[in-house]
Structure 1
Amino acid sequence: MVSDFRKKKLLHVFTVFFDTNRSGNIDSKDFELAIANITKSRGWNAGDAQYNEVRDTLLRVWDGLQGRADANKDGEVSFDEWVSTWEEYTKNPSAAPQWLTDYSKFIFQLEDASNDGSIDSEEFSSVYASFGLNKAEAATAFQKMSQGKSSVSWAEFQELWKEYFTSEDANAPGNFIFGKTDF
């Protein structure tokens, strides 16, 4: 059973990063809107290589998520279905489904705006501000996530990612990977 603490973290990711049209469920329209918002914020146009990469990645994520989480096959993922998916993940995080691996890498690459293989506070907080989160809170979250270091590498990010979805420890650094400081 997923604890209330973990449900709060899952709700944050569900509402801010997946249910982009705020319908209460995740569906293909959310991914279309995310593609439009992300590519617009980066100045990428349809046909650009970066635009195509974002589109292709997010559509793969949607296909994988829907195939795994849409238990009643209605074309949407409800919050309860979302929680069930993460409950399954928690049992064996090292066997993450491909859609989740793709999404984790996508988020890292989105945050690594300089493309130098690591994320710094400015890159991190700017991305989360573009999703409507408070930039100052995101910068504080970065400091907690990075444990005071100036950057986070891909290898570190992967461990923090697992920690976010599995940890019950409110002070675990991974809890801050999505730009929020309290749950």
Structure 2
Amino acid sequence: MVSDFRKKKLLHVFTAFFDRNASGSIDKKDFDLAIENITKLRGWAAGDAKYKEVQSTLLKIWEGLQSRADADKDGEVSTDEWIAMWDEYAKNPSAPLEWQSLYSKFIFQLEDASGDGAIDGEEFSSVYASFGLNKDEALAAFRSMSKGKPNVSWAEFQELWKEYFTTEDPKAPGNFIFGKSSF
């Protein structure tokens, strides 16, 4: 059974980052919109190598998500299917599905706009602002996530990622990795 607190966190990711067309479910069209949004944010045109890399990665994430979470095989992932899949992850976060690991790495690389191996507050808040979240709230979330440090490394991010999907502690730093300062 997923607590109300964890359900709110899971639905935040579902709504803000996956269900891009606000249809109430996740399908391939949402990933096409995400590709468009992310490549526009970075200034990559359809023929660019980085555009193709983002497209390829996001389509692999979609395929993995659909094959694992789409229990009724209707081509869409409902909120119930999404929550059930992440609840399964929470039982053994040290053994994520391939697409979950790919998604974690993708998010880190997206946020690390400078490519220096760490995320800072400006990089973090700019990404979340491009997804429609409040930039000031994203900065507050970054300060909580980073515990006041100027940046977050990949190793730290991986631990924060696990924490986001598993913890029941509202004050845990991992709760802030998706740009929201409270649930």
> What TM-score comes out, normalization by structure 1 length?
0.99
Residue in 1 that maps onto 2:40: 40
**Superimposed CA distance per residue, residues 7-34 of structure 1 (whole angstroms, 9 cap, x where no aligned partner):** 0000100000000010000000000010
Tell me whether 1:55 sits opposite 2:41 in the alignment.
no
Q: Which runs of 5+ in 1 are unaligned?
A: none
Greater shift, 2-11 or 42-51, is seen at 42-51
Residue in 1 that maps onto 2:5: 5
Give % identity. 75
**Superimposed CA distance per residue, residues 110-167 of structure 1 (whole angstroms, 9 cap, x where no aligned partner):** 0000000000000000100010000000000000000000000000000000000000
How far does residue 41 in structure 1 lie from its aligned partner after superposition? 1.5
Residue in 2 that maps onto 1:73: 73
Q: Which runs of 5+ in 2 are unaligned?
A: none
Residue in 2 that maps onto 1:24: 24
How far does residue 47 in structure 1 lie from its aligned partner after superposition? 1.8
CA RMSD across the alignment: 0.4
The 5 A counterparts of 1:53-132 are 53-132=53-132
Q: State how far apart, in whole Å, the 2-side matches of 1:124 and 1:11 are.
A: 20
How far does residue 87 in structure 1 lie from its aligned partner after superposition? 0.8
Q: Secondary structure at the match of 2:152?
A: strand
Give the AA of the match of 1:106: F
> What TM-score comes out, normalization by structure 2 length?
0.99
Residue in 2 that maps onto 1:155: 155
Q: State how far apart, in whole Å, the 1-side matches of 2:33 and 2:65 are.
A: 16
